[in-house]
Amino acid sequence: MPAFSEAEGLPQLYDYLEHTLEAPPNELAANLPLDPSRIESAKLVELDAVIGSADQQSSPIRIAVGQVNPERGIPERVHYSLSFAANAQATVFKFDGPDFYVYDVANPGRSNRLGYIDVSPQHVVVESDFFNEVWRLQPARIPWVYPPLAAVKIGQHWRAAWFAPNGVWAVESSERAPGTAQPILRAPLIGEPDGAKLQFTRDGQFLVAQRVQFPSQVFIRIWDLRPSWLAWIEDPNTTEKALRAAACRIVRMEAGDGAFDEIASKLFQIDAARREPCPRTEGARS
């Protein structure tokens, strides 16, 4: 299923990824990123982002974005993803791993390859000493959707987010170093490590996740990434009591009495003594 642009006031585009079944040209291959999650193969094929207009009948255009091993049969999971920026005419691509690539499709260059455009990506490197498995893309709960990936432009730098095995990574570069990003909270955002969609608000200050539970339930989780909120959390003068009160207030918005269920306890390795971090209130479920 393709990804669709949702930026207000910009052209409505769609894109999807497609194997070419051919190796990329030699002059291009040296600059295309390699899929880090696959066993090395003597033969690598080109992976293209195919981008089209949802409003016009013009032919889609292609951007070569990577090199992968040829797929044989049904893969165990999709190990790459793409999406459009929430507020810019740009598409974002990433493999497993921390880095991602931003393609400005508003100002494409001409290519000598028929059907292609020439767009040099902005490669954003995420600085971290975490091991590679932490950065693995988590598949969407809906099997025909790409692993959820979100991006937003803030000034001249980028924020991006995606599902990982232990939560949601949210990373950001800076105006001083737009090609280098760091985790916003130096750890994954706590939450279910799967879902159908991730999306930043237009200003990039909130991240929204949608999780579908069949047959008819949709759960929404919102993270507040505003600098003022993060500064309050990290302020040495903010007491543990105040932090606990804020955390418990947010937890109780979902339902129940604030206790971790069995699944969350196993996922985040919470022992029995800490299963109920929020004091019970009157009227809470037993």
The residues, any chain, with a CB within 8 Å of residue 277's CB and separated by 6 or more, are 244, 247, 248, 258, 259, 260
Q: Are residues 125 and 209 in the same domain?
A: yes
**Distant-in-sequence contacts of 214-223, Cβ < 8 A, 24+ apart:** 219/192, 221/191, 221/192, 221/195, 223/168, 223/170, 223/189, 223/191
Domain assignment of residue 253, given as a range: 239-286
**pTM, whole model, 2 decimals?**
0.84
Q: Are residues 261 and 192 in the same domain?
A: no
Q: Are residues 74 and 192 in the same domain?
A: yes
Each residue's pLDDT tens digit in the chain (286 positions)?
899 998 989 999 999 999 888 888 888 888 899 888 766 666 889 999 999 998 877 889 999 999 988 766 556 678 899 999 999 999 999 999 899 999 999 988 888 899 999 999 999 999 988 777 788 898 887 778 899 999 999 999 999 999 988 889 999 999 999 999 999 988 888 767 778 899 999 999 999 998 877 777 888 889 999 999 989 988 999 999 999 888 888 777 766 666 777 887 888 888 888 777 776 665 444 3
Q: Are residues 86 and 228 in the same domain?
A: yes
Q: Are residues 229 and 247 in the same domain?
A: no
Of 215, 238, 261, which residue constitutes the final position of a domain? 238
The residues, any chain, with a CB within 8 Å of residue 141's CB and separated by 6 or more, are 194, 195, 196, 211, 212
Q: Are residues 230 and 248 in the same domain?
A: no
Q: Are residues 232 and 245 in the same domain?
A: no
Number of domains in the chain: 2
